[in-house]
Structure 1
Amino acid sequence: MRARLGRGLLALIAASIVVAVLLVVLPEPSAVMLGIALSASLSRSQLERDARGRLEALGLLPVVGLIGFGIGALLRADLVAGAVVYVLALVAAMLLRGRGPLWRRVSALVATPFLAVLFLPAAPGADRGPVAAVVVPVGVAVLAWAAVTAAQVAARALGLLPPPAVRPAAAEAARADATPGEGAATPGAGAPTPGATAALPSAAGPTPGAGRSGLRPPAEVRAAAQIGVALVVAFLVGALTFGDHWPWVVLSAVIVAYLPRGRADAIRTGLHRLVGAAAGSLVALIPAAVLPGDSVVLVGLALAAIGVGILLREVGYAAWAFGVTVALTLLERLTGQPEPLIGLRLIEIVIGVAVGLLAVCLVFPLRTTDVVRSRLRDVLAAVSDRLGADDPAAVLGAEARIRSTLRELDRSAAGLIDAGRVLAVLRRPPPRAVEWVADAHALGVYAARAPAPAPPAVRRAVGDARRALRAPDDLGPALRRAADTTRR
């Protein structure tokens, strides 16, 4: 929890820098909201990046952002044409994930600007002419990148953050990432044991030969079908039912169908969005009703709400949904909205979440246990590298990869872990993947303090667990044996 709050605090510092600069240079709500969204997203996706990865993001982000805001302008000018392009763009971004690490990172970067065009009333600088409409979004993106980079580099220099994981080129090229959103792909960690992942199901990633069946499309194709169906339904329902207020249906559908990792994570994200939005809407009622529409206090409260959301986002997505909902409700009051559209917005959010969940659960569903197995592959590879390391540099590099892969494993399994807590109340056993995660953490803790190289018995047990990745029924016992070996 302390580590999560620490990462949230770094994100809050970066966002505060961006807001402070924009309030002086360009005090425009759209620019400020875009800066906050980008800094919050980059704070997560850039956490494991080395210098090369950060420069890559700096080059890609303005291009992706301009494409997104161009599509946003088309949505405002012609909803039908804009919706078609929007759907095709997100489907294409999902399909490109299977073409390598660079395209996976492009797909991840697409999420924030494409979400931003749905909740921003207009592109930053759009009312200042065509040049500003191009320069301002690019400038905000560069500012957010610089603030996040400065905060994280300073924290790393002070020893508050561990060094980034070193990703071998061959391992990253083989990385099968089933995560479309929230940032970066998880670093790979060395070559797998021969045959260890030869039969891993396609849901665990798009690695060629990883157990794909002619009856089940690759993971990126299945995810693209899900987001395509969700967006088409969301646009139709939103435009035909809610008129000009259609964006909240689409926004909620994208959050549920594009960002999560597997079915359990989609359900968890949808529930968090509903709870956070409902709580934020109720909390925002009081200041929106009491304070005048031009009150500086409204601005302060909106920024404070988003700050709370950023700080606690690593703890739960509901906090982020809460903060954003409060802020947008208060900003509506500032822009002259006579009364908050809270009831309408909640109805749209419920419909959007339902649309996204139905698409994720019914259209070529990606099982969360398969996604967890994919992440376990990276964890076990990093643990294996650490146990076999015999020089300080290799030890430090493997330990950094263990930390980053365990963090991504936890994110992928969060939905199942929440389900396990509910089942515990009912005195039912948790999903088996929850036990896999617990044993993986035990191996990671042992590897961090193990001698270099580790005892052969432990290394053999970890190798057996890697080979067991091909069969879920064998994986649990193999992981438990490996974890038990570390306790002897």
Structure 2
Amino acid sequence: MKHVRIGLAALVTVAAAAGACATVWLAVNAIAGPAAATQPAVLATVVALSLARRDLAGRREFVRSAAALPLVGMAAAGVGWLLVDVPPLGAVLFIAGMSVPIWLRRFGPLGARVGALIALPLTAMLVVPAAPEAPGTPWWPAALLAAGAGAVATLWVTAARELLMRPWLGRSQHGTAHPPRATRPTSRPSEARSGPPSRRLPASTRMAVQMATALAAAFVTGWLLFPSHAMWIVLTAYIVNAGNRGRGDVLHKSGLRVTGAVGGTVIALLLLSLPTLDVRTTTLLVFVTLFAGTWLRAYSYAYWALAVTIILTLLQHVAGAGPAAGEAGLLAERVAAIVVGALLGIGAAWFVLPVRSSDVLRRRLSDLLAALAALVGADRSAHDAEEDEAAFRSALRRVEELAPAHRARRRLGAKGIQPIDCVEAACGLGPAVAERVEETDDDERVDLAIRRARASLRPPFDADEVHRRLVGLAAALRGGTVA
């Protein structure tokens, strides 16, 4: 059932992206012709894909983000215009627009949401860079097109969420759609940060500096090595550092990115050799690949990297933007740029104010336990219960995101209890909460288990102790004894 649900979510996401793409292309084509329609149509597709995947707690948050997105998109279009006409200034503004949102995470969920909203159109500009304009051409027409594309994408994603996603997938993909019964208050969520305050820079600040360093190095290296396609290096440097979950995660994602890019380029070159590859067939291939990549992304990022590489290669072929060496030279040039971008991202993550993967795990487990404490806390309205459950499911997903990199470490032969065992034990809290609704109301036992689990997160990180406490907490939620 889980695989079917993931497939349905991918289908809905791609349907919204396809609808946004077709709407923008038809509208702009009717006014300005097909040459002017391609870029805003692809931009609408990218924005729709990114917005549909965002983890938003409810309708109000989605509406606020959707209302601001066109304005942010206009500013991003201005940055894209500067990247073409005044590259150094455009690069500085782009780097700031990508690194400052990471720094904003230190201000909590609101800062993280604002940061993600700022970065979204800029990410789309990486995939769909601004086309060179004639000298003296103003930037505002492109900005209006970007704003319109963002607005259309938002409308399609809204329709997909309300008309398709909710009836088929329910509120949550991680458990029951019904909120648990309210029980007695437990310790406050603010207590989740165990241990004395650290004098080190916050992780969000360090990751923002890493992103700025990686992007600055990528721009300079791209202009020197790949002057016609510098954004290939920038895109990879951004991807491997985006959502940074520690230096181990960056290394793991870089490997998946390179592997997927190599496989995707080879497949794309095979597709380009087909004699019947016209524009209509290419468009169909793009969206079929997009659906497959969106579906398989839940299992490995390598599939998404493979799909994106195929799509970009096909789009550049249609637009006539392939490398000068011809289609056969696409493999070496693209892979070389991706490898260089990945190395720059790894270097920034490992040697510029590095963030340990165990610290990221501790923080996300702490947030999860805080959300769980609120979920099983004081009496509240059904509306509050729904928000508490959404917060818990969101925190649970953030812990699950850490699994691939830690699982790869275990495959390398690590012995004993590893961080991945703690991640898997934490993932067991979702089903345990769902079972608790039906089986037990033993508040004292659950409160004690939560306090012990939170105490185990005090530094230094002890995987054995954390794992034991999380297993005990899941048992307590099911009505067993506290370990």
TM-score by length of 2: 0.83
Please give the residue correspondences for 1:63-102 in structure 2 after superposition, counting only pairs within 5 Å: 63-102=71-110
Q: Distance in 2 between matches of 1:447 and 1:93?
A: 33
Provide, for residues 440-473 of structure 1, a one-character-per-residue CA deviation record: whole Å limited to 9, x for no partner.
Answer: 2223322212146335223311221123222322
Question: Cα gap change, 1:288/1:163 in structure 2, threshold over 3 Å: closer, same or farther?
Answer: closer
CA distance in 1, matches of 2:238, 2:409: 23
Among 197, 203, 210, which residue is 1:211 paired with?
Answer: 197
- Cα deviations across residues 61-88 of structure 1 (Å, max 9, x unaligned)? 2232222221111111122222222223
Structural mapping, 1:352-431, within 5 Å: 352-388=341-377, 393=382, 397-420=387-410, 422-423=411-412, 426=413, 428-429=414-415
SS in 1 for 2:273: helix
What secondary structure is seen at the aligned counterpart in 2 of 1:364? coil
Is contact 1:277–1:346 with CA below 8 Å preserved after alignment? yes
| DSSP 3-state at the match of 1:290 | coil
**Equivalent residue number for residue 192 of structure 1:** 188
Letter in 1 for 2:319: T
- CA RMSD in angstroms, aligned pairs only: 3.0
Task: Check 1:360–1:398 CA distance in 2 against 1; reply closer, same or farther (3 A cut).
Answer: same
Structure 1 equivalent of residue 7 of structure 2: 5
> 1: CA distance between counterparts of 2:190 and 2:149?
46
Q: Residue by residue, what CA displacement relative to the aligned partner does 1:333-392 show, whole Å, maximum 9, x if unpaired?
A: 222247232211110000001100110111111122222222212322333344446678
C-alpha distance after superposition, 1:269-328 (max 9, x if no partner): 212211221111001112323347854322322232223222323332222222221122
Q: 1:439 aligns with which of 425, 429, 433?
A: 425
Give, in whole Å, the separation in 2 of the partners of 1:161 and 1:236.
47
Measured in 2, the distance between the counterparts of 1:125 and 1:431 equals 58
> How far is 1:138 from its partner?
0.9
Q: Cα distance 1:24–1:414, how it changes in 2: closer, same or farther (>3 A)?
A: same
Following TM superposition, by how much is the alpha carbon of 1:129 offset from its aligned partner in structure 2, in angstroms? 6.9
* Distance in 2 of aligned mates of 1:93 and 1:442: 32
Name 1:346's counterpart in structure 2. 335
> Which structure 2 segments of 5+ residues have no match?
30-36, 175-184
Determine the C-alpha separation between the residues in 2 that align with 1:190 and 1:67: 45
* Cα contact 2:25–2:40 (8 A) shared by 1: no
How many residues align? The count is: 448
1:256 touches 1:269 (CA, 8 Å); kept in 2? yes
**Could you say if the C-alpha distance between residues 455 and 105 of structure 1 is closer, same or farther in structure 2, counting changes exceeding 3 Å?**
closer
Report the CA distance shift for 1:30/1:156 in structure 2 as closer, same or farther (over 3 A). Answer: closer
- Deviation string, structure 1 residues 193-220 (Cα, Å, up to 9, x no partner): 6744242xxxxxxxxxx7321xx21222
Q: Does the alignment pair 1:314 with 2:298? A: yes
Match of 1:169 in 2: none
Write the distance in 2 (CA, Å) between the matches of 1:430 and 1:43.
39
CA distance in structure 1 between the partners assigned to 2:285 and 2:361 by the alignment: 39
Structure 1 residues 315 and 40 mapped into 2: Cα distance closer, same or farther (>3 Å)? Answer: farther
SS of match in other structure, 2:281? helix
Change (3 A) 1:449 1:385: farther
Q: How many Å separate the matches in 2 of 1:131 and 1:111?
A: 20
Identity percentage of aligned residues: 31
Shift in alpha-carbon separation, 1:70–1:126, aligned structure 2, 3 A: farther
Do 1:256 and 1:353's aligned partners in 2 also have CA atoms closer than 8 Å? yes
**Deviations 1:113-165 (Å, cap 9, x if unpaired)?**
22322332426999997553122111111111121122122245425221699
SS in 1 for 2:215: helix
Asked if structure 2 preserves the Cα contact closer than 8 Å seen for 1:152 and 1:161, the reply is: no
Deviations for 1:78-111, whole angstroms, at most 9, x for unmatched residues?
Answer: 2222222222332333333323433321221233
Which one-letter code corresponds to 1:419 in the other structure?
R
Moved more, 225-234 or 294-303: 294-303
Alignment counterpart, residue 57 of structure 2, candidates 36, 49, 52: 49
Structure 2: distance between partners of 1:154 and 1:138? 24
Q: Distance in 1 between matches of 2:85 and 2:172?
A: 46
Distance 1:308 1:389 in 2: 44
Query: Is the 1:193–1:467 Cα contact (8 Å) retained in structure 2?
Result: no
| Deviation string, structure 1 residues 18-48 (Cα, Å, up to 9, x no partner) | 1232342235332222122111111121x43
Maintained 8 Å contact 2:191/2:370: no
2:148 equivalent in structure 1: 139
Q: Secondary structure at the match of 1:224?
A: helix
Tell me the amino acid that sits aligned with residue 85 of structure 2: A
The one-letter code matched in structure 2 to 1:102 is L
